[in-house]
Structure 1
Amino acid sequence: MKIARFEHKGKVVWGSVRDDVVTILTGELFEGATETKEKISLKDVKLLPPIVPPKIIGIGLNYKKHIEESPFGTPEVPMIFLKAPTSIIGPLDPIILPDSKKVDYEGELGIVIGKRAKDVKESEALSYVFGCTIVNDVSARDYHQQDKSFARSKGVDTFCPFGPYIVTGLSPDNLKIETRLNGKTVQSSYTNDLLFKVPQLISFVSKFMTLMPGDLMATGTPAGVGPMKKGDVIEVEVEGIGVLKNFVS
């Protein structure tokens, strides 16, 4: 199922998307929401971030070719960081640049957790996944150099566009991921190039912090990271999910 979140008749609701039609869902999303008979044209709704995550977990240096282009060595364990919940924006929302001298795009596959997970075995990890989505892990490089920390460089307001949908039942093993800047392809890879695969990430993170329904995990970015400037259009496409498009302002 392809799930969208949007405003309808003054309320924020979820719907399942097929072609250009959205069917309103009823019930709790993580407890088995079901389709109603009410349908809306997709072009008549403004898509919101698919969920409001309790926490956003990022993974650094997790594509092999991205590690090769970076000045850092290969991590021995997943490099975990957190992004501020206030950094979340949805599709077509503006990425607002701060006074940073270098703000980069980072197209990523996102994983949404579907149930409480603590000390999860790798062999069982995928059963805790609700679905897959798309994340742009926007990052201010000079902030990171100044702080020696990801907190400010990745936590700025509007620095976590994600969506447009959550897709359930989609295997994260070998999805094509592509980022386009003003229509030009700048990142292109497959998720089988991940150093630490999704089951490893879920198992590892769950040893240190309890994962809750709705938590969002950005699994890392491929090679080709680069800067954005005001007026740019940035698109991240992941096979089977769609295109996350945002404007830079």
Structure 2
Amino acid sequence: MTRIARLSTPDGPRYAIADGGSWTAVRSLFDHTPTGEDLGPEPPVFLAPVEPGQVVGCSHPTGPDGRSRVQGWQKPIGTVAGTGEPVRLNEWSTRVVAEGELALVIGRRASRLGRQDALEHVLGYTVANDVTTVEPAVDAVFFAAKAGASHTPLGPWIETEPGAPDDLEIVVEVDGEAVRRSSTSALPSTVADILVELTRWITLEPGDVVLTGSPSTDATIRAGSGVTVRIAGIGTLGNPVA
């Protein structure tokens, strides 16, 4: 198992891998050759663990036949934030929710995948908060609802082997109180199924991020709140709300 982070250093952002109780700077997200750089004082400041070319969100609506399907959409990459960065609410929002989700970081170009090899295209997994403006509802394709500043916190790092991705506990806390507890096992679609469906329509490139959807992990947040998403086997993502 490899833990990959993107850290703030005096010389700019650097990728690093966990080495016991410390971090070793490496060449890139995909090349883990040590650079020998000094990463600065402890504790490290974690940035969003990846700079994606695209962020794809998912929901799992039920069709007229009673079967769920994967519905994808794209979130602006400018919404990506790291752990500790404030989620900034829009002044016109009257209800905003956090949504704790498992996120996939793509490791290989992925197009028209089959279920048997879909997971081979995943570099690793991180924690996501798919922040969503619920009220007022202003569009049918989630653009305004999900395009706010820092509305896609990711982090704190990427785990390459967190355990079975379809059975990871997710806990959402607001101001230190656990308000939602679920699991990726509650999603109607498996991680492999999500990738198969999305790559029927789009090609995912290395470093892209896929949000797998909320298994009833939505929690109302307000300015002044602190929201935390924990996923077993990966880590804890925490953000103040401004």
Q: TM-score, normalised by structure 1?
A: 0.89
CA contact (8 A) 2:128 2:153 kept: yes
Q: CA deviation at 1:38?
A: 5.1
Aligned to 2:89: 97
CA contact (8 A) 2:104 2:122 kept: yes
Structure 1 position 241 matched with structure 2 position 234 = yes
Question: Which of residues 76, 82, 85 in structure 2 aligns to 1:84?
Answer: 76
Aligned to 1:219: 212
Give CA-to-partner distance per residue, 1:45-79, whole Å, 9 cap, x none. 211100111111111147xxxx8xxxx99663201
Distance in 2 between the 1:41 and 1:107 partners? Answer: 31
Distance in 1 between the 2:175 and 2:58 partners? Answer: 26
Question: Which of residues 107, 113, 118 in structure 2 aligns to 1:120?
Answer: 113
User: What is the letter of the counterpart of residue 113 of structure 1?
Assistant: I
Identity across the alignment (%): 29
Aligned to 2:149: 157
Aligned to 2:58: 59
Structure 1 position 169 matched with structure 2 position 164 = no
Q: CA deviation at 1:191?
A: 1.4
Q: CA deviation at 1:41?
A: 7.3
Secondary structure, counterpart of 1:3 in structure 2:
strand
Distance in 2 between the 1:212 and 1:75 partners? Answer: 29
Moved over 6 A (4+): none
User: What is the letter of the counterpart of residue 33 of structure 1?
Assistant: H
Where do residues 31-42 of structure 1 align in structure 2 (5 Å cutoff)? 32-36=31-35, 40=39
Q: Choose 198-207 or 220-229, whichever is displaced more.
A: 220-229
User: What is the letter of the counterpart of residue 126 of structure 2?
Assistant: T
Q: 1:224 to 1:216 in 2, by over 3 A?
A: closer
Q: 1:93 to 1:117 in 2, by over 3 A?
A: same
Q: CA deviation at 1:190?
A: 1.8
Give CA-to-partner distance per residue, 1:134-157, whole Å, 9 cap, x none. 0000000124x2222201101111
Q: 1:74 to 1:215 in 2, by over 3 A?
A: farther
Q: CA deviation at 1:12?
A: 1.4
Give CA-to-partner distance per residue, 1:93-129, whole Å, 9 cap, x none. 0011112001100000000000101111011000000
Structure 1 spans left out of the alignment, 5+ residues: none
Distance in 1 between the 2:33 and 2:167 partners? Answer: 29
Aligned positions, number? 238
Aligned to 1:198: 191
Distance in 2 between the 1:49 and 1:92 partners? Answer: 10
CA RMSD of aligned residues (A): 2.1
CA contact (8 A) 2:60 2:69 kept: no
CA contact (8 A) 1:21 1:40 kept: no
Distance in 1 between the 2:192 and 2:42 partners? Answer: 36
Q: TM-score, normalised by structure 2?
A: 0.91
Distance in 2 between the 1:177 and 1:42 partners? Answer: 31
CA contact (8 A) 1:136 1:236 kept: yes
Structure 1 position 23 matched with structure 2 position 24 = yes
Structure 2 spans left out of the alignment, 5+ residues: none
